[in-house]
Homo-oligomer: A and B are copies of this chain.
Amino acid sequence: MSKNYLVDSRNKVKRVPERGHYDQATAYAILDDAFICHISFVVDGQPFIIPTLYGREGNKIYVHGATTSRLIKHLEKGFPVSMAVTHLDGIVLARSAFHHSANYRSVVIYGTARPVDDERKEQALYIISENVLQGRWEESRKPYDKELKGTAVLEIEIEQASSKIRTGGPKDDKADYDLDIWAGVVPIKLEAKAPIADALLSEGIPVAKSVTNLYQE
């Protein structure tokens, strides 16, 4: 049985509450199906938002960046953050303009971002790399110490989360079902296309297994 996160005014889903989920299993499934997130944080009352790559290990999220970036500079002090991952799964076309919607799976997490100390940095980067493309880390030239030093890695322990999921077709007002208006769903999917080799790739090197695996799913 999956643990539930504490539900309070911070993470309670207020709009269409029946779409809300507060269990870890749902949050983790949404997190593990993407590798780009948006992180929100505050500096002097001003909200900032940054898209970034991430990975999950247990109840922790890792993100990385150059030690010079705004996100990293501010978050190293231990700032509160919220982070969202959203999968757009479809456009929902109702008969009425009002009932148009989207199918989606989204999760918002709340936590405090803290720097990952040097000994755990490589492991955290491995987790991010595996989340972006499984198996790629092992194929790559591993980081040198100076590369690790130039990379700041942050961890966010998930304190609270709320997931929101909408699936299925449109819901129209009763009277509108008689209208001669097409209704349904346009499914939307993020897809990997055929890989493009680097122009400087030496001859005779086959496409990496981590890449060919992508197309066998």
**Which single member of B47, B84, B95, B133 contacts A140 (CB below 8 Å)?**
B95
Closest to A96 in B: B141
Asked if A120 is at the interface (CB within 8 A of a chain B CB), the reply is no
- Set of chain B residues within 8 Å of A191, measured between Cβ atoms: 188-191
Asked if A3 is at the interface (CB within 8 A of a chain B CB), the reply is no
Further pairs besides A93-B210, A95-B140, A182-B211: 5, Cβ < 8 Å: A40-B82, A91-B133, A93-B136, A177-B202, A181-B208
* Cβ–Cβ contact B98 & A151, under 8 A: yes
In the assembly, what is the distance between CA of A192 and CA of B200, in Å? 33
Within 8 A of B (CB), among A88-144: 88, 91, 93-98, 100, 102, 104, 106, 108, 110, 125, 129, 132-133, 136-137, 139-144
Q: Type the 1/0 row for A189-217, where 1 means its CB is closer than 8 Å to any CB of B.
A: 11111111111111001111011001000
